[in-house]
Chain A
Amino acid sequence: MNESSSIPAPITLSSETRQTAPPEKTDLPTASTTTIEPLTSETSTLTEACKLAQVGETRHQFTDRFLQLIHESEFEYGFSTPADAYVREALNEYSTFAKDWISDLFLKNFSDPFITCAILRVIAHFDYQQMCPQGMIMAVACAAHKNTDVRECCVRCFESWENPDTLSILRSISFSKDWLDEYLKGVISDLERLTNHVVSR
């Protein structure tokens, strides 16, 4: 099979051709087909559908405002920004949804070092558990980023969270730049000391 590179994806089918797949339940293997769309696009009741539609609307509002604040804020280590306050408010109100929205925004803008760094700087100001697991996942994703500033922000997140649970992740990371690798090793030893301190107490 060949593929013409002259026609890029994505493809959107017109609404008449969209097939509504049955909800994927625990009895998935009983169907011969394996391409049933996952339940993420399905809702079982009108109430749920309305609830999710509202969340979708709020998500757009949150994303737009957060991006605006990111562009308006001046990020300096140790100083809180209006973007931090906005995320705090969203976390209180929407809990895990807000973390998902940040995570989606992060992934969509992964190639943009400015936005990626800004998101990392904001999430670093929150408690590890409060941002877990999306915060930790965003930070670790940046360990492989092409941009050095983004990689540095990744290590700063883990340094700021001071959570020994993240040691297993940090030990699987290494950097080619000496100073960054030294910095990472420093954070690892600090967390190890923290673990030993907790154990010895």
Chain B
Amino acid sequence: MIEHLIYYQFGFFAPNTHLQPKPDIIGRLLEAFKDKGFIPTTAQELQQIGPAIKTGLQLQFTSPNREWNLAFEPHRALLKKENVGGTGMGSPEDFCEEANEIFDRLLKVNPFTGTRLSYATKGLLPELNPAKLDEVNKRILNLLPFYTKYPPYQWTTRNVARFDVHLGEMTESLNVITDINRVQGTIARDVGPLSFDRIEIGFDINTYQENTTPRFTTNHVGLFLQEAIKQSQNVMVEIESKLNE
């Protein structure tokens, strides 16, 4: 079970998502998100074009505490909820509901047709004692003799699977990516940074990258997120079961 969620993210890929920070565009979006308390802002954007780097501005709408951010990137509108501390991250279903509502409004104002949808999340498992922590990768990996003799204290794994699912009337190829890593770092606390050594779980679930046909509308956002959350929860149950063997 994830104890510390780092972020949730939903991406709506479409060709025209790079909205310019102009008064009429900002005015329409402000009106659409009036009750959300989002404020417009810009971020410096660097685009690599051949050997050169071109700078530009990226329009974003963010909550004042920076928990929520809606960025209008060149190829996708990206909604991210980050753990800023104190407010709680809620469940994936809560995020799904909020993302659905935000994109419903956004697509009414700017009717993009999506070419790809993505859901990603990352979090840390509760602390394990050192012996149990060393056991984890033995359970999920077939280690080389060297690393059996000298157990690694830091490692990453990534598995990508692809299979078909139904989103309403559509059949979509879905990438399900699971990262299981052992990471060390620090968590910022009021009293100072707290070191940790934990298992990090990340999911990146998205529609097949080679299908670039514009086909996703507002109706597909909720269907996709429900499917992605279901798949991530299925994998999570298997991870827990493996760790508790």
Q: What residue in chain A is nearest B122 (Cβ atoms)? A: A35
A42→B46 CA distance, assembly (Å): 8
User: Among the listed A3, A26, A29, which residue makes an inter-chain contact with B89, where contact means beta carbons less than 8 Å apart?
Assistant: A3
A40 to B44, Cβ gap below 8 A? yes
Interface size on B, residues (CB 8 A): 80
B188 to A107, Cβ gap below 8 A? no
CB of B106 closer than 8 Å to a CB of A: no
In the complex, chain A residues whose CB is within 8 Å of the CB of B123: 1, 3
B204 to A169, Cβ gap below 8 A? no
In the complex, chain A residues whose CB is within 8 Å of the CB of B210: 29-30
CB of B5 closer than 8 Å to a CB of A: yes
Q: What residue in chain B is nearest A40 (Cβ atoms)? A: B46
A12/B185 contact (C-beta < 8 A), A1-B123, A133-B21, A166-B23 known: yes
Question: Interface-forming stretch among B25-33, B96-104, B140-148, B219-227?
Answer: B25-33
User: Among the listed A9, A136, A165, A173, which residue makes an inter-chain contact with B83, where contact means beta carbons less than 8 Å apart?
Assistant: A9
A8 to B11, Cβ gap below 8 A? no
CB of A46 closer than 8 Å to a CB of B: no
In the complex, chain A residues whose CB is within 8 Å of the CB of B242: none
B187 to A40, Cβ gap below 8 A? no
Instruction: Annotate B140-181 by CB proximity to A: 1 below 8 A, 0 otherwise.
Output: 000000000000001010001010000000000001010001
In the complex, chain A residues whose CB is within 8 Å of the CB of B107: none
Q: How far is the CB of B221 from the nearest CB of chain A, in Å?
A: 15
A172/B28 contact (C-beta < 8 A), A39-B46, A44-B48, A144-B39 known: yes
User: Among the listed B9, B43, B89, B188, which residue makes an inter-chain contact with A10, where contact means beta carbons less than 8 Å apart?
Assistant: B188
Query: What number of residue pairs across chains A and B have CB atoms under 8 A from each other?
Result: 187
A17 to B183, Cβ gap below 8 A? yes
Q: How far is the CB of B173 from the nearest CB of chain A, in Å?
A: 11
A1 to B30, Cβ gap below 8 A? no
CB of A58 closer than 8 Å to a CB of B: no
A134 to B42, Cβ gap below 8 A? yes
CB of B244 closer than 8 Å to a CB of A: no
A35/B2 contact (C-beta < 8 A), A8-B188, A11-B188 known: no
A10→B65 CA distance, assembly (Å): 12
B204 to A34, Cβ gap below 8 A? yes
User: Among the listed A5, A103, A168, which residue makes an inter-chain contact with B88, where contact means beta carbons less than 8 Å apart?
Assistant: A5
User: Among the listed B41, B48, B75, B84, which residue makes an inter-chain contact with A29, where contact means beta carbons less than 8 Å apart?
Assistant: B75
Q: How far is the CB of B62 from the nearest CB of chain A, in Å?
A: 8
6 contacts between A and B (CB under 8 A): A3-B90, A10-B83, A40-B43, A44-B48, A107-B39, A143-B30
> CB within 8 Å of B: which residues of A?
1-5, 7-14, 16-17, 19, 23, 25-26, 28-35, 38-40, 42-45, 48, 96, 100, 103, 107, 110-111, 133-134, 136-137, 140-141, 143-144, 165-169, 171-173
